[in-house]
Structures are given as structure tokens and as C-alpha cells.
Structure 1
Amino acid sequence: MLIHLLSDYIRNPDVRRQFSDNPDELCAKYGIPPESLKQLQSGNVAGMLKHLAEELSNHALLGQGRRVFFWGGADITVTGVSPDTGKVNTRVHVTISGTNFPTDAEVTLQKPGVTLQAKSVKSVSTTELEAIVMASEAGSYDVVVKNPTTGTSGTKSQGFTATA
């Protein structure tokens, strides 16, 4: 695996020497395909990151119906919703502000016993989302922004209120 080679290369001078002397042999020992070796030798960082992502997504720890992440990035925060009120059973176009929003964010309105999926979620930036929400009953809802890849989320407690 490329991640193992990179880790060993950083920590072990013998691995650095072996890579310098015979990179093909060392990469074969780590099970790294020739195209990844070319990316490594050319300094193609984007190509190496893509290979690392593929390795991690196929790794045994990431299979078996669950995902284990070794680093998850920054926490999602939800700081505002505008407008923050709407009528029951009426579509409301909202702008959600915060930090570290993923491009594939999922938005829900939640209160005890009720979870409503927002429609047409659009990533404007890492700090702004647009969505259409529609509450099915009156009350205050938490607005939750979730990263479907990592499972992490951020919540604005009572961020949206539906009125009758």
C-alpha cells in the first residue's frame, strides 16, 4: 500500500535508500502499481492523493458495512439559517451559514420524533448552503448539516421554526 510506503519512507532511512537505489523493486514489495510509481517519481501530488483515497476506501477496515476514518477534517458548524421561520407545509428557500460545509452536504430539520430531509441542497461555498425545507408540523426544529462521506455533522439548535 502506498500509505505504508510513504510512512516508512518518512521514518526509515533504509527505505529511502532502497527507494533511491531501486524504486521498482521497493514499490513491488509494497504492492504499488507502476502507474502510482510514476506519479510518485514525478511529484504528481494530486495523483498520489487519488491513489491514497482509493486505497483507503478499499481497505478492509473501511469495508464490512462501516467506515473508520483516521482523520476527519474540521468540524462542521451551523451558525445561522435565513429565513429562520416558515409556515407549515410551505416550501421555504433557506440559506444556511456556518463553516466546513462539504460540497455534498445533506440538510435535515429535526425535532423529537420528526426528521425531514431538505430538498435541492446546493453548496454555494464551504460557509454557505442553499436548500428548500418544508416542515410538516408546527414547532422549533434543529437544522442539521451532515457530511455523508465522514458521517460528521453540525447542528443549529432550534434554527428553524414552523408556524401554523
Structure 2
Amino acid sequence: MNNVDIVPVSSEDTVHKALQHSCFQALRNVYTPRQTVHQIQKNRTDNHQAFGALILGTLVGSLEAQFDGHSVSIRSVAVDHKYRKQGIAGKMIKAAMGSYASAQSVSLWCVEQTGNVSVFEKIGFKVTQRIESDILILTDGSPAIEVQMTIDVKRKE
């Protein structure tokens, strides 16, 4: 695999936003939000950090995370389809963990029907709960199953 640099990026960066949009747009073949994106984003807090994965200066992955003083919550993970299955998501998650010295765990939510549960299990996440979504619906009209996953942060003593 090419050398990957994980760096902080602005969540307002146009390349970051375009990558996030294109990756999540592909998931719209599986599920869609019941609310508009504007309504969902209005309910989010803005105290988050974005990280980018760069290969030869090109953004190939991005991640957004929030920290509450105890746990890092991954809001989104996006990797360009040409660079998947190369460990980029795991490197970004590890960088997010390392950015918060007092973090004890990392959690995220994903949609079971996308196949992403197995992606995060390979990184070390464990399923903590599955719920029938009240905000996401599958393209066939049935409710999506949202899966919460967590991983404990192991610090060197």
C-alpha cells in the first residue's frame, strides 16, 4: 500500500466535503434518511474534528469525530472506492483515538444492510447494540437496522 498520511483537515474543506458526499451518496442505493440532511445536521453539535488520509497529497479518506471527555464518537468515515480494503479507515480511526489522550473508548453507528459491520469488526470494534432505525429507511421501504459498535482504547502504561 502507498504511504498514507493522516492529518487534521477542516470539516469545511471542499475536497473533504466532496469525498464525504460521494461516499455517502453511494449508500443511498441501500438506505435513505427519513429527514432531510438539513434537519439532521441542524441537530448535530459543531464541536468535531475532521481527519484526512492523504496519499501523495491527494485526499483519499476522511473521518469526522467528536469527543465528550470520555469517548470518541465517530460521526462519519469515508474512503474513496479506489482505496478501500487497504487499512485506511483503521488508520484514520487510530489517529482519532490518539488525538484525545483521555479517551477510553471509540464508538460509531453504521447500517447493518451496508455490510460495514464486518469492516469495523476487522478493525477491532464489537457490536454493542442493534436497533430498528427511526431515522433511516431501506430503499425497499423497510426500516434500516442501525448497529452501534465500540472499541476500548488501550494506552501504553
Tell me whether the two structures share a fold, i.e. TM-score over 0.5.
no
- TM-score normalised by the chain length of structure 2: 0.24
The structure richer in strand per residue is 2
